[in-house]
Amino acid sequence: MSQQSANITNSSSNIDVSRHNARLPIWALSPQEEAKARKNLKDFTYEKCGQFVKAMADCAQVHGVKVFPACNPQKEQMKECLLFYQIDKKFLDDQRDLIILNKIEEKMKQNKPSTA
């Protein structure tokens, strides 16, 4: 697979993580937030690799018990795509950054004096 880049943004606040170049410390996340970052990465990965996952599922449905000898090309493509996003720490760091930046944004909203 060719080198791919991802521009991850938070749709609710339009935060562009790709322009955020400073790594934030991992301890800034609670265990629940770390789990959420990993779940978000999984969702992001399946979104990016959806065509390969679907091809594998379609092949498996057609071939039933003989899925692995018959679907090895689809399996390899799916595996290559999924591992590309899951092994490269940059993508998990981007998800962590989104959570931390959202926390910062929420704190700023709480501290912002309301104008009446």
pLDDT at residue 116 above 80?
no
Residue of higher predicted confidence among 8 and 44: 44
Per DSSP, helices labelled H in the chain are 31-48, 50-63, 67-70, 72-87, 89-111
Largest Cα separation within the chain, whole Å, is 69
Q: What end-to-end distance do the CA atoms of the chain give, in Å?
A: 55
Both structure tokens of 115: 């104008």
Q: Categorize the per-residue pLDDT at 83 as very low, low, confident or very high, splitting at 50, 70 and 90.
A: very high
**Overall average pLDDT of the 8-35 stretch:** 64
